[in-house]
Amino acid sequence: MKNRIPVIIVSGFLGSGKTTFLRYLLRESNKKFGLIINEFGDVGIDGDLIKSCNKCDESEEDCVVELNNGCLCCTVQDDFVPSIKSLLEYNPNIESIIIETSGLALPIPLIQALKWPDIRTSIYLDIVVGIVNGESMINGSPINDLNQITNQYNEINKIDHNASIDELFEEQLEVSDIVLVSRSDILSDSQFELIKKSLRGKLNSSTPILKSHNGRIDLNYLFDIDFKKETYQAYLTEDHEHNHVALVSDAIKLNYFLEKNQFEKVMKEILDELNILRIKGRIWIPNKSLPLQIQIVGKKINTWFEEAPDKCWKPIDSAGLELVIISFDEKSIKTFKRKIKEKFNVLS
């Protein structure tokens, strides 16, 4: 009988550093992984960044599965379970499966989904990695601009089932076997100790809290050190309400571009007028060999040049942009799309 494949769940709030950590893990580990990347929207920006680091053979195109519904537990039977089965069927040599949850996902329903009869004889949950943004945690929040985002969220009354942002953050922590504090390079020792003290009240007493810069950690904590990795076990059998933060997303593609500094200036002006939750995408700039990658959480803008997959959308004449926008309601997204077209002098 074939041995069951271990599963690693990587959870964390928007902008915590999940994708950065995964890129480090994939580059530095000698293991062959299958990956399930859960995003919002039809454009898999984070998935593309991760695929570039995975060690799958060229023939193993199915070793990375992107699910763009934003909530794995809402589509267990239709999407999640078939994705696990597909990874195992088409990639018999994978040694572990990594599941990266979306930034506003509650992990407990996902943990419980791994016990579905169709897959539980083939896989087992090995470890849950929780990641927090050290920069924002200095101020005691999981994300920058938390008050603005929470106010916007609370104003949306049409959500049928939801969890508060505080509930979400606490649940992501309480099921974690290990917690990584990203952006640790900007923290003093005293600031890190204060963050650890703040987190410790939400964690199992034995859960390690580690510094992480650019995703780097001692990978022995994942693969070699025999510490107790069973924090999540208490949640496998207990009843749990299926509540989560409800979001909407959309994408915009324009054959128009701005240089890096111009884009950041224009985007800052737009974001100052709105409370968009998350933006990610690319800009193709003429005479640049690589596209400009865009990652925005709240009003914090991060950009860098990096290669994009050959099969992704590209603008005419290598000049244009593609953005995914995530918010709590469609009105905010429509307003953003209108404002960005106005700023870029795009009439259609």
Highest mean pLDDT among 267-276, 283-292, 313-322: 283-292
Check pLDDT > 60 for residue 57: no
Check pLDDT > 80 for residue 152: no
pLDDT at site 189: 92
Please tell me if the domain spanning 5-235 has the same topology as the one spanning 248-343: no
Provide the token pair at 262. 């111009």
* pLDDT digits 0-9 by tens, 192-208: 999 998 888 888 777 89
Check pLDDT > 80 for residue 320: yes
pLDDT greater at residue 123 or residue 239: 123
pLDDT at site 131: 93
Mean pLDDT of 36-50: 63
Check pLDDT > 60 for residue 228: no
Spell out the domain ranges in the chain.
5-235, 248-343
* pLDDT digits 0-9 by tens, 81-100: 888 888 888 888 889 999 98
Check pLDDT > 70 for residue 229: no
In whole angstroms, give the CA distance from residue 170 to residue 5: 28
* 248-343 to CATH, choices 3.30.1220.10, 3.40.50.720, 1.10.150.20, 3.10.310.10: 3.30.1220.10
| Percent with pLDDT over 70 in the chain | 73
Cβ atoms within 10 A of the Cβ of 234, count?
A: 12
Band (155; pLDDT cuts 50, 70, 90): low
Phi, psi of 12 (to 5 degrees): 165, 160
pLDDT at site 1: 46
Band (256; pLDDT cuts 50, 70, 90): confident
Check pLDDT > 50 for residue 157: no
Band (280; pLDDT cuts 50, 70, 90): confident
Which class is domain 5-235? alpha beta
Band (159; pLDDT cuts 50, 70, 90): very low
